[in-house]
Amino acid sequence: MNKPIYVLGTGLSHNGSAVLLKDGKVCVAIEKERLSRIKHDGGNDYLAIQYCLDAENIKLSDIDLVVQCANFEIPERNQYKGKRIFANTDFPKIVNISHHLAHAYSAVGTASFNECNVVVIDGCGSPLDQFLQLHPEHKHLIQPDIIKETKMQCEKDSFYYFNGQKLIPLWKDFSVMSPFSEKNLSTPTTKHSIGGFYASVSKYVFGDMQDVGKLMGLAPYGTSGVYKVDAFEFKESRLFIHHTWQYHFDKPSKGYSYFKKHFSYYANVAKWAQEQVEKAVLECIQYRTNSYPSQNLCYSGGVALNAVANSKLLDLKLVDNIYFEPAAGDNGLALGCAFYGWLEHLNKPKTYHNGNTCFGKSYTDQEIEKAISNESIHFKKLENELDLLHYCAKQLQNGKTIAWFQSGSEFGPRALGRRSILAHPGIKGLKDHINKNIKFREDFRPFAPAILKDKVTEYFKYGRNSPYMILVDKTKPEHVEDLLNVTHYDGSSRVQTVEETWNPMFHKLITEFYNVSGIPMVLNTSLNKKGTPIVETPKEAIKLFKETAIDILIIENYLIETKLQ
């Protein structure tokens, strides 16, 4: 029997992660923040790599190739913000690639099609000097005025063609960095990036840039047309920001109470910013796809997490098929590194990927019971799966909240039914209760419906297939009242269509809830509270259960309930 070929990808930017391929397929992957418990953690990759090795039960010596990516520098083998796992070894070989190339390979490695174009749009990629050091053969793609610029420049949008084996760069754009400033409207990264613009408005509205997704959640409360200024323009095939837009906004947030007092103002700002981003994304991708036609498109980079813009891109019907990479942010860099190693460096054929994005390790009964006993809480083990599913479905129908912990954790920013908090989608007051007493976050933040895939057209206008909660739809008017906890202020809903193939237990639970309640969906939000990563281990799930107002905790087939305390 031939020894498996293992390729390790590691991302060392913020939102660091590690991914292990076995013969071209993902066997385990983890984001560093899930282990360190520090949100958006990056830098040193020892912890994440060791997790992958332990989960697969192999040693570093079993790894055939390592591919890494970090912004602004090429990490040394022995040290990078601490001792690395490769210190004092000459094997395995380590290859370095650029930021956008990693984003692009993360998409093509998991997409269902073999031939496609790939667009990457984010806030800031690799500096030009580093890019040319890593990929000198691509210098001809860079426009002369970019090469002549003496200031530091970084990737901001890239376009590639994937021929089934390798990515061929077609277009790359760079932007100079913004000068450092404490001003709330200072673009935090590159001066002309869509991601940088969105982050700067997020800081203006909320006082921070760590959770830019909140801006998309606030935008539906705003009114279109309040601000007439445009933030972006296309000029000679390149996208630029008009920085004069900053002069129209002079009331930065001074904290949450100030934000609440001026809620309508900030909602209007968020609405304007969201619409500006949508316009820029659509114009940029439309221009590129018209220049380089293909019937399939992959989309990655942090801006690809904007579910509203994604849906509008889909509606343009520029191509036959669009794949939105579910780990489109920097947490997906390690995934792209690993697939680059397999496809381009080792020249191995692409393997079939079934759409699964849950790559964490599973926990044994022994590990679960140890975590429970250490916390001195009572539990019940339900040996019969049907009994477990029926009990949970009935409790959801009765308005209880359930922390749902099953199998290997999701890779990426969305909880998809492996590390989730679940509730009834229509019982009045539950949305506010979860935001206030479980998530401890702002009351305007929306929740998503997780619906059986074959029922989505009955409840939502467009009936999009959206397994990664990365697209929005409109709740049909006749169902808004029944789905008030998962329908946003403007009637929109960020839908998750649940796949039986790679999410069987979650699919079974929703099916049982449908049998009990007549509703083929549940409210689904991530198993964490504001400011903390999604839980990874049974111990962390129990800790969260004890700290919040969650009614029931299910870890595999173990039941922990408030009344059992």
**Residue 416 class from Cβ within 10 Å (0-12 exposed, 13-18 middle, 19+ buried)?**
buried
Cis peptide before 92, with omega less than 30 degrees from 0? yes
Tally the C-alpha atoms within 13 A of residue 462's C-alpha that lie toward its C-beta.
Answer: 17
Determine phi and psi for 189, rounding to 5 degrees. Answer: -130, -115
Same fold for the pair 6-101+335-345 and 112-324: yes
The CATH homologous superfamily of the domain defined by 6-101+335-345: ATPase, nucleotide binding domain (3.30.420.40)
Q: Is the pLDDT of residue 493 over 50?
A: yes
Residue 229 · residue 244 · CB < 8 Å:
yes
564 pLDDT higher than 70: no
pLDDT digits (tens, 9 = 90+) for 6-44: 999 999 999 999 999 999 999 999 999 999 999 999 999
What is the band of 488 on the pLDDT scale with cuts at 50, 70, 90?
very high
Q: How confident is the model at residue 565 (pLDDT cuts 50, 70, 90)?
A: very low
d(CA 271, CA 201): 11
Task: Give percent of the chain with pLDDT exceeding 70.
Answer: 97
DSSP bridge pairs for 172: 158
Q: Is 441 exposed, middle or buried (0-12, 13-18, 19+ CB in 10 A)?
A: middle
- Does position 161 have pLDDT exceeding 90, yes or no? yes
**What letter represents residue 273's amino acid?**
A
**Residue 12: how many CA atoms within 13 Å on its side-chain side?**
27
User: What's 136's DSSP letter?
Assistant: G
Other Cβ atoms less than 10 A from the Cβ of 315: the count is 11
Task: Tell me how crowded residue 216 is: count the other CB atoms within 10 A of its CB.
Answer: 23
Instruction: Give the strand pairing for 296-300 and 321-324.
Output: parallel
> With pLDDT > 90 as the criterion, what percentage of the chain qualifies?
88
3-state helix, strand, coil in the chain (%, to 5): 40, 20, 40
Q: How confident is the model at residue 236 (pLDDT cuts 50, 70, 90)?
A: confident
Residue 480 burial (C-beta neighbours within 10 Å; 0-12, 13-18, 19+): middle
pTM of the model: 0.96
- Bin 403: left if φ > 0, else alpha if -120 < ψ < 50, else beta: beta
Question: What SS3 class is residue 301?
Answer: coil
Average pLDDT of the residues of the chain: 94
Kindly calculate the radius of gyration of the chain based on its CA atoms and give it in whole angstroms.
23
Under a CB-based contact definition with an 8 Å cutoff, are residues 79 and 73 in contact? no
| pLDDT score of 180 more than 70 | no
Q: Show the tokens assigned to 286.
A: 């439309």
Q: Does domain 365-564 have CATH number 3.90.870.20?
A: yes
CA dihedral 113, 284, 316, 277 (to 10 degrees): 110
For residues 302 and 198, what is the distance between their CA atoms, to the nearest angstrom? 11
pLDDT at 244 (0 to 100): 87
> Which pLDDT score is estimated for 190?
85
> 519-550, pLDDT tens digit by residue?
999 999 999 999 999 999 999 999 999 999 99
Please state the three-class secondary structure of 45-81 as a single string.
Answer: CHHHHHHHHHHHCCCHHHCCEEEEECCCCCCCCCECC
Nearest CA among 396, 215, 395 for reference residue 306: 215
| Cα(123)–Cα(198) distance, integer angstroms | 9
Question: Hunting for tokens 């849906």 — which residue is that?
Answer: 311
Domain 112-324 in CATH: superfamily? ATPase, nucleotide binding domain (3.30.420.40)
**What distance in Å separates the CA atoms of residue 41 and residue 12, rounded to the nearest whole number?**
9
Q: How far apart are CA 477 and CA 491, in angstroms?
A: 8
Which has the higher per-residue pLDDT, 376 or 252? Answer: 252
495: its two tokens: 């839908």
Write out pLDDT tens, residues 285-330: 999 999 999 999 999 999 999 999 999 999 999 999 999 999 999 9
* pLDDT grade for 178, boundaries at 50, 70 and 90: confident
Q: Are strands 552-555 and 321-324 parallel, antiparallel or unpaired?
A: unpaired
Instruction: Annotate 189-199 with b (16+ C-beta within 10 A) or e (fewer).
Output: bbbbbbbbbbb
Judged against a pLDDT cut of 70, whether residue 184 lies above it is answered with no
* Helix/strand/coil for 119: strand
pLDDT for res 212: 75
Mean pLDDT on 83-102: 96
Please state, in angstroms and rounded to a whole number, the distance separating the CA atoms of residues 279 and 231.
10
Stretch 439-457: mean pLDDT: 96
* pLDDT range class, residue 387, cuts 50, 70, 90: very high
pLDDT of the residue at 210: 62
Q: Report the alpha-carbon distance of residue 272 to residue 53 in Å, rounded.
A: 46
CB 516 within 8 A of CB 390: yes
Query: In whole angstroms, what is the distance from residue 530 CA to residue 550 CA?
Result: 14
Asked if residue 182 has pLDDT above 60, the reply is: no
pLDDT at 186: 65
Residues 458-465 have a mean pLDDT of 97
Q: Where are the alpha helices (DSSP H) in 111-261?
A: 128-134, 144-148, 194-206, 213-218, 256-261
pLDDT value of position 227: 96
Domain ranges of the chain: 6-101+335-345, 112-324, 365-564
For residues 121-148, give the mean pLDDT: 92
